[in-house]
Amino acid sequence: MEKLIYLNGEYLTTEEAKISVFDHGFLYGDGIFEGIRAYHGRVFKCQEHLDRLYESAKTIMLNIGISKSEMEEVLCGTLRKNNLDNAYIRLVVTRGVGDLGLDPNNCKAASIICIADQIKIYPQHMYENGLEVKTVAVRRTNPDSLSPRVKSLNYLNNIMAKIESTQAGVVEAIMLTQEGYVVEGTADNIFIMRRGALLTPPLSAGCLEGVTRNAVIALAKKAGLEVREELFNRHDVYNAEECFLTGTAAELIPVVQADGRVIGDGKPGNVFKDLLQDFRALTLVDGVLINK
Ligand code: PMP
C-alpha cells in the first residue's frame, strides 16, 4: 500500500506531497512540529501533544487555522488512511507560503503536514546495554533568545550538538545551559538517580517540556520515588546511580557512560527498568482511539 501524507486538507502520495520553496518553514525554519506515537490503535498522549503544539503556536504568533479537535482528526485520519495502529507521527505546521522577506505577515495561511511512518533513532542493543553520551561545547539555545519550550522547526542548535558527539564517536550529545548546568539531549530529556532521588532539569533551565518526561515524572511519583525538577551539573551525572533519556521516538533509553565515566555499575539500573515497564503498560491504555 502506498503511503499517504496529509497536506493542507488532502491525502497525497509521497511523490505528490510537495510544499512551495517560498514556504517560510523551508526559508526560515518558521514553524513548529510535534513527534507523536500511536500504540495499539491509540494516539498516545494526544491531548498533551496538541496542547504543546498550540502553546508553541501562541508563543510564536502562528495562526494554525484549525481547532485542536480538527487537528486530532488529522492525526487519526492519517493513521486510518495508512492502516496503521502503531506508528510515529510527524505533525508539522509552518507559517506558510510568503515571499523572500522574513515578515510573517506576508504568509497568508499556515501549511499543515502530517506524516505517519516508523522511526528508529537508536539500535536495539543500546536499549539492552545502555548508550554512551558526551557533553558538547555548543550550548543549548538560551531561553531568552528562543524558548526551547517552543518546539520550533529551528533545530540547528540540536544538530550542531549531534554533529559534535558523533564526530567524537558518541551517539548522543548532552547539552548544557549557558551556566553549565545539564539541560537535555538533542531530542530527549535527561533523568538521573542521585542519592536515592530521581532528578530532571526544571523547565526554567531551558529544556523542552517533554511529553515522555511528564509521563515518567508521574509514573515515578506513583511508584513512590522522590522526584525533583532541579538543576544539576556534569559531576552529578558522572556520579549518578543511574541515568536515562526520555523522548517520544526513543521512549526510555539507559545511559551507562558519560564523557568516559561509567555511570553506576555500567548497566541499565533497576529504577530505569521499572519505569520502562510502567511506561509500556501506559501505552496499552492511554490515548485517543484512532477508530472512534
Ligand atoms: N527535547 C528535545 C529537544 C526534543 O526534540 C524532544 C523530542 N520531542 C524531547 C526533548 C522529548 O520530548 P517528548 O517526550 O515530548 O518527545
Check whether 18 has a pLDDT greater than 90. Answer: yes
Return the pLDDT at 280: 96
Could you give the residue range(s) of every CATH 3.20.10.10 domain in the chain? 124-283
d(CA 149, CA 115): 22
Atom of ligand 1 nearest to the CA of 158: 3
> Using one digit for the tens of pLDDT, what is the confidence trace for 171-215?
999 999 999 999 999 999 999 999 999 999 999 999 999 999 999
The answer to whether the CB of 189 is under 6 A from ligand 1 is yes
> Using one digit for the tens of pLDDT, what is the confidence trace for 211-260?
999 999 999 999 999 999 999 999 999 999 999 999 999 999 999 999 99
- Identify whether 18 is a catalytic site residue: no
d(CA 53, CA 140): 21
Return the pLDDT at 96: 98
Instruction: Among 43, 53, 188, 191, say which to mutate for ligand 1: greatest number of ligand atoms within 8 Å of CB.
Output: 188
- The conformation of residue 21, written as its DSSP 8-state character, comes to T
Strands 251-258 and 261-262: antiparallel
Return the pLDDT at 119: 81
The answer to whether the CB of 153 is under 6 A from ligand 1 is no
Please classify residue 265 by burial: count the beta carbons closer than 10 Å to its beta carbon, then call 0-12 exposed, 13-18 middle and 19+ buried.
exposed
Q: What is the DSSP string of 40-86?
A: TTEETTHHHHHHHHHHHHHHTT----S-HHHHHHHHHHHHHHTT-SS
> Using one digit for the tens of pLDDT, what is the confidence trace for 88-133?
999 999 999 999 999 999 999 999 999 999 888 899 999 999 999 9
State the average pLDDT for the chain. Answer: 97
Q: How far is the CA of 185 from the centre of ligand 1 (A)?
A: 8
Could you give the residue range(s) of every CATH 3.30.470.10 domain in the chain? 4-117
Q: How far is the CA of 266 from the centre of ligand 1 (A)?
A: 25
Identify the residue whose C-alpha is closest to ligand 1 atom 12: 210
Q: Which CATH class is domain 4-117?
A: alpha beta
Among the options 45, 134, 151, 162, which is catalytic?
151
d(CA 21, CA 27): 7
Of 3.90.1560.10, 3.40.50.800, 3.30.70.1060, 3.20.10.10, which CATH number belongs to 124-283? 3.20.10.10
The answer to whether the CB of 188 is under 6 A from ligand 1 is yes
> Using one digit for the tens of pLDDT, what is the confidence trace for 61-89?
999 999 999 999 999 999 999 999 999 99
d(CA 271, CA 268): 9
The answer to whether the CB of 247 is under 6 A from ligand 1 is yes
Please classify residue 170 by burial: count the beta carbons closer than 10 Å to its beta carbon, then call 0-12 exposed, 13-18 middle and 19+ buried.
buried
Return the pLDDT at 121: 82
